[in-house]
Amino acid sequence: MGYTAEDELLIKEKWDDLLYSCTRICKNDEDWNFIKRAFFLAKEAHAGVRRRSGEPYLLHPIAVAKIAVDEIGLGVKSVVASLLHDVVEDTEYTVEDMERIFGQKIASMVDGLTKMSGVFNADTSEQAEYFRKVLLTLSDDVRVILIKIADRLHNMRTLGAMPMNKQIKITGETIYLFAPLAHRLGLYAIKTELEDLCMKYRFPQQYAEIKQKLADTDANRREYIEKFCAPIKEALDRDNFNYEIAGRVKSVYSIWSKMQRKQIPFEEIYDLFAIRIVFKSLPFPSEKTQCWQIYSTITDIYTPKPDRLRDWISMPKANGYEALHSTVMGPDGVWVEVQIRTQRMEDIAERGFAAHWKYKQAEGDVDEFDKWLNQIRAALNSPTENAVDFLDNFKLSLYTSEIVVFTPKGESRKMPFGSTALDFAYDIHSKIGNSAIGAKINHELKPITTQIQSGDQIEIITSDNAKPKAEWLDVVTTGKAKQSIKNFLKRERQNNIERGMEMLEQKMQQLNIQLNGHVLRKIIPAYESTTKEELYTKIGAGIISLDDLEKILKENSGRKLLKFWTFLIPQKKSNTPSEEQKESAKTTNKEAHAQQFEVAECCHPIPGDKVVGYHDPLTDKIIVHKATCDELNRLAAQHGKNIVKEEIQWSRQKAMSYLVTAELRGIDRKGILMDLARIISGDFNINIREINIKSHAGIFEGNLSLYVKDVESLNAVMDKMRQVKGIESIKRTL
pLDDT in tens, 659-693: 788 888 887 777 788 888 888 877 777 777 778 77
- Number of Cβ within a 10 Å radius of residue 390: 24
CA diameter of the chain: 90
How far is it, in rounded angstroms, from Cα 602 to Cα 631? 7
Q: Is 726 left (phi over 0), alpha (psi -120 to 50) or beta?
A: left
Q: Evaluate if pTM is beyond 0.75.
A: no
Find the helix or strand (DSSP H, E) in which 84 lies. helix 76-84
Catalytic positions, please? 89-90
Which domains, from first to last, does the chain contain? Answer: 5-187 (1.10.3210.10), 210-351 (3.30.460.10), 487-557 (no CATH), 562-651 (no CATH), 658-732 (3.30.70.260)
Q: β-strands 335-342, 273-279: how paired?
A: parallel
How far is it, in rounded angstroms, from Cα 720 to Cα 708? 15
How far is it, in rounded angstroms, from Cα 109 to Cα 604? 44
Find the helix or strand (DSSP H, E) in which 69 lies. none
- pLDDT above 70 (res 133): no
Q: Output the DSSP codes for 196-208.
A: HHHHHHHSHHHHH
Residue 301, class by beta-carbon neighbours within 10 Å (0-12 exposed, 13-18 middle, 19+ buried)? middle
Question: Would you state the pLDDT for residue 360?
Answer: 54
Residue 317, class by beta-carbon neighbours within 10 Å (0-12 exposed, 13-18 middle, 19+ buried)? buried
pLDDT in tens, 264-288: 888 888 788 899 999 998 888 988 9
Confirm if 402 and 317 have CB atoms less than 8 A apart: yes
From 154-168, 429-443, 667-681, the region with the lowest mean pLDDT: 667-681
How far is it, in rounded angstroms, from Cα 706 to Cα 700? 19
Q: Give the mean pLDDT of 372-390.
A: 57
How far is it, in rounded angstroms, from Cα 388 to Cα 519? 26
- pLDDT above 50 (res 605): yes
Question: Would you state the pLDDT for residue 193?
Answer: 94
Give the strands of the sheet with 436-441, arranged side by side: 444-446, 436-441, 458-462
Per-residue DSSP letter, 22: G
Question: CA torsion 531→535→536→537, rounded to 10°?
Answer: 100
Q: 644: closest CA among 201, 158, 166? A: 166
Q: Give the mean pLDDT of 62-76.
A: 91
Strand partners, 662: 704, 732
- pLDDT above 50 (res 574): no
